[in-house]
Amino acid sequence: MLKKSDKKLTKEEQLLQDHKMIRESLKDKKRIVVKIGSSSVIHEATGGLDFVKLEKLARYLTDLHNQGKDVVLVSSGAIGMGVKALGLPKRPASIARSQACAAVGQGYLIGVYERFFKEYNQQIAQILITKETMINNERRVNARNTFIELLDMGVIPIVNENDTVATEEIEFGDNDTLAAIVCALVKGDLLILLTDIDGFYTDDPHKNPSAQIIPMVEQIDENIEGMAKGVTSRYGTGGMATKIAAANICNDSGADMIIASGAKAENLNKIMDGEPLGTIFKAHKRPDFHLISYLENKPYMED
């Protein structure tokens, strides 16, 4: 006869137990990349920066670093900040003008981060990346070396796409993909995407009220890819498909990835404390993982 503790778990119970364990294991992560989207750093109604959130983010990221973890922040918001600083009524349609906005906004954005991180004696650095940089073997190695040196010296690199020079043919286009590439490049073990949706849903929650959040994705299969289609972000550039693409890169490279709401900076702390926020995509490192083939062939974008 089976003792109570030997009771065979149902598939659902086993999943719940796995989920709990993987969430608890997040405390032990060593190198974490956090991505925050434009819609999470900018107030939608006015286009102004959410200073309270950025201030908290700087505090929480510094605290993670003080716990002995390496931390990288990928922050969007350059174009949006440029639009605001230049007093434009809305995001420009032309690429050249958007790039000009990014040139103004990126400086402003990093200046704000600089001030907040300084409050906590945390050194930061700015790294701007283009897809071209990542495809070129020499430059990719250079970028990786720079990241590693910075992390070794206890710096938190703040990354964005170099929007002022990246046009359609050479751009990542969305910071979800960029963040996943950065995570793979620095051999991070966790990527957290803080975004305008609170997790991965079975269907578009804006259109289908019975859509349900999936707490854990063990394997990205056709079913999951099908659910992601058509779920667009309201304000940022990346919809759910780009997040699945990011999860593919991350998971294949050996990192877990979480999609969670960026509405509150506190969510970052809750996630690191093991609370089951958003959706976690489980890592399954491919022994043959080569970042360059993801960059060149975009297998993560195939449908």
Task: Count other Cβ atoms within 10 Å, centred on residue 196.
Answer: 17
Q: Least Å distance between CB 117 and ligand GLU?
A: 18
**Nearer to ligand GLU (CB atom), residue 78 or residue 227:** 78
Q: Total residues at the site for ligand GLU (CB under 6 A)?
A: 15
Torsion of CA 179, 181, 185, 188, to 10 degrees: 50
Site string for ligand GLU, 227-256 (x = CB under 6 A): ---------xxx------------------
- In the complex, what is the shortest distance from the CB of residue 113 to ligand GLU, in angstroms, rounded to a whole number? 13
CA 74, CA 246: separation in Å to the nearest integer? 13
Paired strand residues for 194:
36, 260
Question: What is 176-225 written as a DSSP string?
Answer: HHHHHHHHHHTT-SEEEEEESSSS-BSS-TTT-TT--B-SEESS--HHHH
**What's the CA gap between 246 and 250, in Å, rounded?**
6
Question: Cβ 143 to ligand GLU, closest distance in Å?
Answer: 17
Q: Which is nearer to ligand GLU, 236 or 276 (CB)?
A: 236
Residue whose token pair is 């102004």: 48
Binding string to ligand GLU for residues 92 to 131, with x set by CB under 6 A, is what?
A: ----------------------------------------
Q: Which stretch binds ligand GLU (CB under 6 A): 3-11, 56-64, 155-163, 291-299?
A: 155-163
Cα-flanking dihedrals φ and ψ of residue 267, to 5°?
Answer: -55, -30
The H or E element that residue 260 is part of is strand 256-261
| Residue 98 token pair | 């958007």
Does residue 160 touch ligand GLU according to CB under 6 A?
Answer: yes
Residue 76 binds ligand GLU (CB under 6 A):
yes
Stretch that binds ligand GLU, among 71-79, 126-134, 189-197, 247-255 (CB under 6 A): 71-79
Whichever of 129 and 190 has its CB closer to ligand GLU, that residue is 129
Residue 188 or 262 having the CB closest to ligand GLU: 262
- Letters for 24-43 (x = contact with ligand GLU by CB under 6 A, - = none) are -------------xx-----
| Secondary structure (3-state) at 150 | helix
**77 touching ligand GLU, by CB under 6 A:** yes
In the complex, the smallest distance separating the C-beta of residue 161 from ligand GLU, rounded to whole angstroms, is: 4
Distance in Å, CB of 165 to ligand GLU, minimum: 12
End-to-end CA distance of the chain: 49
Q: Does 279 bind ligand GLU (CB under 6 A)?
A: no
CB of 177 to ligand GLU, least distance (A): 8
Token reading at 236: 């940022």
Length of the chain: 303
Select from 137-145, 158-166, 192-200, 250-258 the region that touches ligand GLU (CB under 6 A).
158-166
Of 110 and 272, nearer to ligand GLU (C-beta) is 110
Q: For the window 171-190, what string marks contact with ligand GLU as x by the rule CB under 6 A?
A: ---xx---------------
Binding site residues, ligand GLU, CB under 6 A? 37-38, 76-80, 160-161, 163, 174-175, 236-238
